[in-house]
Amino acid sequence: MNRVVVTGMGTINPLGDSVDSFWKNALEGVNRTGLVSKFDASKFRSQIACEVSHFEPEKYLDRNEIKRTDLFTQYALYSASQALADSGLDLQTIDPFDIGVIWGVGQGGMETFETEVEGYVKGDYTPRFSPFFIPKLLLNMASGMISMKFGLQGINYAPVSACATSNTALMDAFNYIRLGKAKVFVTGGSEAPITPASFGGFAAMKAMSGRNDDPKTASRPFDRDRDGFVMAEGAGALILEEYEHAKKRGARIYAELVGAAMTADAYHMTTPHPEGIGAAKSMQLALAEAQLNPADLDYLNLHATSTPVGDIAELKAVTKVFGASPNLWVSSTKSMTGHLLGAAGAVEAILAIKSITDNVIPASINIENLDPAIPQGIQIVVNQAMEKTVNVAMSNAFGFGGHNSTVVFRKFLG
């Protein structure tokens, strides 16, 4: 099968509007959680989020693109533009049918949906909706708009697996390239969920932190006093490319994607299996596909969202797969970024790749008292980034519905 390498990356998220700014802030332990500013959240149990406060779409998109797209698609266009520029691909010299887009979104155009329906109910523009209502809210519109903006005519669609979504997109792109169905993919995910209905729905489930009086410490995976995740927004984009194609054009290669897998818990709508059985199998399958042993893994970016049940279940899964490996260190960068839902996997994949290129592991911050339920032998990078040679990094993303997804990157060896 063909080898698959990463030749470009781009992002917009609460920690930065580029990969460089994101990485710098992640290593410094920056956290930008604050009170929700996009609407009045005072009626909800949780009133905090990790918002993108530095995005001005008119600087990057033309008026028609802005008019016709929801925020999740605008984030997608911005990060994809970054990644393509970073890759150095000359799109004029490549058959457009050789370049595809697989872009994951968990919820789609929630802001568009809420605004249009509220306007209709209030009679602001009865009896008609905007002609852009349906196109703006469709989950596949991000992948479609990326293809239109850059003239990419290969495989194009949007997978959905809740918070595992963008890892699913990476895995699908990986497999299509390995099978010779495409030379290049723009892949990743975006999410713009900080809206009254989306936020209120998660708040009603008591899934989000209620630490409203101290937002910056609210996302605290593995801490004894964690009480839920912090919602976030943004996008992450990666350019996956067939190795020989990248080699021929002299591309800079960040890392090689060597394994990816998915499983299902078949257990509960929203709660992971408490023993992490499905998560463990996903990691085992990804390692096997990469032809790696558990002892080969240097860093694991965990899905851990700061929920009481989820964090421990995942660590139990890690213990099943890796035992007490002295080489393996883990962290959850959601302690800094918050949880980007469908975009989380792609954004965290970027951090896993950067850990390989720079040999530094970002920390889990806000840990004051480690949960005594954490299995013995788990080595967590606590509160401060750690320098360590990273040859192999793994990233997990799990979603409501029992979806488990894992990707494995290796230092490029030529």
- Average pLDDT (246-263) is 98
Position 123 confidence tier, pLDDT thresholds 50, 70, 90: confident
From 50, 163, 245, 273, the catalytic residue = 163
pLDDT at residue 273 in the model: 96
CA distances from 155 to 6, 27, 66 (A): 18, 36, 25
Position 120 confidence tier, pLDDT thresholds 50, 70, 90: confident
**Cis before residue 127, ω within 30 degrees of 0?**
yes
pLDDT at residue 124 in the model: 65
pLDDT at residue 128 in the model: 77
- CA atoms of 408 and 391, how far apart (whole Å): 11
Position 9 confidence tier, pLDDT thresholds 50, 70, 90: very high
Class of domain 4-248: alpha beta
pLDDT at residue 2 in the model: 98
pLDDT at residue 376 in the model: 94
Does the pLDDT at position 121 exceed 90? no
Summary mean pLDDT of the chain:
97
Position 317 confidence tier, pLDDT thresholds 50, 70, 90: very high
Give 16's strand partners: 13
pLDDT at residue 127 in the model: 63
CA atoms within 13 A on the CB side of 400: 10
Structure tokens at 115: 């605004």
From 245, 273, 303, 403, the catalytic residue = 303
The CATH architecture of the domain made up of 260-410 is 3-Layer(aba) Sandwich (3.40)
pLDDT at residue 386 in the model: 98
Q: 124-140 pLDDT, tens per residue?
A: 665 678 899 999 999 99
Q: Is 339 in the active site?
A: yes
Which of 6-10, 60-64, 73-77, 282-286 has the least mean pLDDT? Answer: 60-64
Position 174 confidence tier, pLDDT thresholds 50, 70, 90: very high
- Average pLDDT (128-155) is 96
CA proximity to 260, closest of 327, 176, 328, 182 = 176
From 50, 245, 273, 339, the catalytic residue = 339
pLDDT at residue 180 in the model: 98
Q: 289-306 pLDDT, tens per residue?
A: 999 999 999 999 999 999
For 77, other C-beta atoms within 10 Å of its C-beta total: 25
Q: Is 163 in the active site?
A: yes
Given a contact cutoff of 8 angstroms between Cβ atoms, the answer to whether 140 and 70 are in contact is no
- Average pLDDT (21-41) is 97
Given a contact cutoff of 8 angstroms between Cβ atoms, the answer to whether 402 and 272 are in contact is yes
pLDDT at residue 71 in the model: 98
Nearest 5°: CA angle at 127, between 122 and 129?
Answer: 85
- CA atoms of 44 and 301, how far apart (whole Å): 30
Backbone angles phi, psi at 258, to 5 degrees: -115, -15
- Average pLDDT (163-189) is 98
- CA atoms of 41 and 64, how far apart (whole Å): 31
Q: 369-414 pLDDT, tens per residue?
A: 999 999 999 999 999 999 999 999 999 999 999 999 999 999 998 8
Q: 230-247 pLDDT, tens per residue?
A: 999 999 999 999 999 999
Percentage, residues of the chain above pLDDT 70: 99
- What is the domain partition of the chain in residue ranges? 4-248, 260-410
Tokens 């806000």 identify what position? 366
CA proximity to 200, closest of 130, 298, 110, 305 = 110
pTM of the model: 0.97
CA proximity to 188, closest of 7, 3, 11 = 11
- CA atoms of 30 and 230, how far apart (whole Å): 15
Phi-psi region of 108 (alpha: psi -120 to 50; beta: other; left: phi over 0): left
